[in-house]
Structure 1
Amino acid sequence: MTNPVVVVATLVAKPGQEELVEKTLTAAVPAVHAEPGCLRYALHRKAGATGEFVVIEKWASQEAFGAHLKGAAMREIGAALAQALAGPPQAEFLDAIPTGDPDAGAV
């Protein structure tokens, strides 16, 4: 069995671009949810930080995650936000440490 890929991605909007970033990310969510292997793609805003967005992602496999990165939704996000972000998105990859209840103890 393939281990799922868990990613926490952070995107920071340039001042004045917060609304564009939020609208672009929100609009992409349904398309990403429909991608093969998408187990979770949840958009958040960092508490107290208007322009900092965090996406918690879980993909069925490395292949599914790789296809997502090359997919239409990511191309559209990249094009729309090319000048709106303060820097490139930052991604943290997580390895689960299974413990306790399988549903409550893992993303």
Structure 2
Amino acid sequence: MTVEVGLLVTLDAKPGKEDEVAAIPNAGLLVVEQEPGTVTWYAIRHGDTTFGIFDTFGTDNGRQAHLSGAVAKALGQVAGDLFASPPDIRPVDILAAKTAG
């Protein structure tokens, strides 16, 4: 499947909440695996308190479905408790990609 669009999300954990934020991707992955429009999904850590999610979608419809899905709702519910600032969610266009196969 080709990818056309993506999301780049940055999450900054409150001090002392890093382990809880680091655990979020494991629960999120189970949900994302059921989303037919989500092609790839990566959870990363790039600092002591900074985490990220990068995901790609075949179409903008897939991206919009993901943004209104269970993972986005779950992040919204824990944002005040775990994050130092609201999640920074940036839509991106995929210019080039290497896919398996």
TM-score bin (small chain): 0.7 to 0.9
Shift of 1:96: 3.4
Q: Which has the larger radius of gyration?
A: 1
Partner residue, 2:65: 67
Return closer, same or farther for 1:61/1:97 CA change in 2, 3 Å cut-off.
Answer: closer
Q: Give every structure 1 segment of 4 or more consecutive aligned residues whose post-TM-superposition deviation is greater than 4 Å.
A: none
Secondary structure at the counterpart of residue 48 of structure 2 = coil
Contact 1:24/1:80 (CA < 8 Å) preserved in 2?
no
| Structure 2 Cα separation of the partners of residues 82 and 40 of structure 1 | 27
CA RMSD of aligned residues (A): 2.1
Please state if 1:44 is matched with 2:44: yes
Count matched residues: 98
State the one-letter code of the partner of 1:65: R
Return closer, same or farther for 1:96/1:69 CA change in 2, 3 Å cut-off.
Answer: closer
Q: Provide TM-score, normalisation by structure 1.
A: 0.77
Please state if 1:103 is matched with 2:98: yes
CA displacement 1:32-59 (0-9 Å, x = unmatched): 122121011100100xx12111111101
Ranges in structure 2 where 5+ consecutive residues have no aligned partner? none
Secondary structure at the counterpart of residue 71 of structure 2 = helix
Partner residue, 1:32: 32
CA displacement 1:12-69 (0-9 Å, x = unmatched): 00101111111123211121122121011100100xx121111111012111111111
Contact 2:3/2:39 (CA < 8 Å) preserved in 1?
no
Higher mean Cα deviation, 84-93 or 72-81?
72-81
* Match 1:57 to one of 52, 55, 58: 55
| Structure 2 Cα separation of the partners of residues 3 and 26 of structure 1 | 23
Ranges in structure 1 where 5+ consecutive residues have no aligned partner? none
| Structure 2 Cα separation of the partners of residues 13 and 72 of structure 1 | 20
